[in-house]
Amino acid sequence: MHILILDDHPLFAEALKQVVQRLGGNTVIHAVETASRAMDYIEARNYDLIMVDLHLPGLDGFGFMRLLKSRFILAPVVVVSATQEVEDIRRALKQGAMGFIPKAADAKSILAGIHAVLQGQIYLPEEWRHALNEQQTGTDPKSQEALLAKLDISPRQFSILQQIEAGLSNKEIARKLFISESTVKTHVSNLMAALAVPNRTACIMEAQRLGLL
């Protein structure tokens, strides 16, 4: 497994590298300080996970994630940042990040976040989930039903959307709803198309923005 760390603070990057090495196995970790250098590495090999700070010299983390999308780089991205701004996290998730790990997180939380994302789940610390949800306003059930109909989202798809928000993987959703994993994947693809977003994380953020969740 190959993991890339993009952070312009060498001491933090080295500390993070030491934590990530606890994943064991044949994990290979590279750390770089700029987005341009990161792209050099990405063009030379495939990565299983990319960990990126938001505030970088030159092209920042947001721009870097946009660049990844434009190059069709499919490796999952986790933001590791000291930001305290909820809007930063919302924006990063909208750009396609699969999770957020605060720089102040302990080793156990960092590894939990990595494991979750590698399993295809969205990772957010509980306090950040609450912070994001506090900004959402309640939706009248009739308005919600009308919006679901307008977006052509079926009751089954909405149920799957709720399970994704709860952090369940496709396999876990399939088991819970007594359907096949391939059926779940089809529904997730249809949800992404209906909401015009690139991945599961963005599905949740867009649904929350619209007031569906």
Print the domain residue range for 88.
2-133
> How far are the Cα atoms of 68, 123, 133 from residue 166, in angstroms, in the given order?
27, 10, 12
For 148-195, write each residue's pLDDT tens digit.
888 999 989 998 998 888 888 999 999 988 899 999 999 999 999 999
Q: Pick from 103, 133, 163: which residue ends a domain?
A: 133
Counting residues of the chain whose pLDDT is more than 90, the rounded percentage is 53
Same domain as 146, residue 94: no
**Total domains present in the chain:** 2
Counting residues of the chain whose pLDDT is more than 70, the rounded percentage is 95
Same domain as 206, residue 148: yes
User: Residue 117: which CATH number?
Assistant: 3.40.50.2300
Same domain as 150, residue 120: no
Same domain as 31, residue 123: yes
Q: Pick from 106, 133, 160: which residue ends a domain?
A: 133
Same domain as 178, residue 77: no
Same domain as 105, residue 187: no
β-pairing, 99-102 vs 2-6, is: unpaired
pLDDT band per the 50, 70, 90 thresholds, residue 77:
very high
Same domain as 125, residue 30: yes
What pLDDT, on a 0 to 100 scale, did the predictor assign at position 64?
94
User: Residue 189: which CATH number?
Assistant: 1.10.10.10
What pLDDT, on a 0 to 100 scale, did the predictor assign at position 137?
47
> Contact 153/194 with Cβ under 8 angstroms?
yes
Same domain as 124, residue 63: yes
For 95-144, write each residue's pLDDT tens digit.
888 889 999 999 999 999 999 999 888 888 888 877 776 655 455 556 77
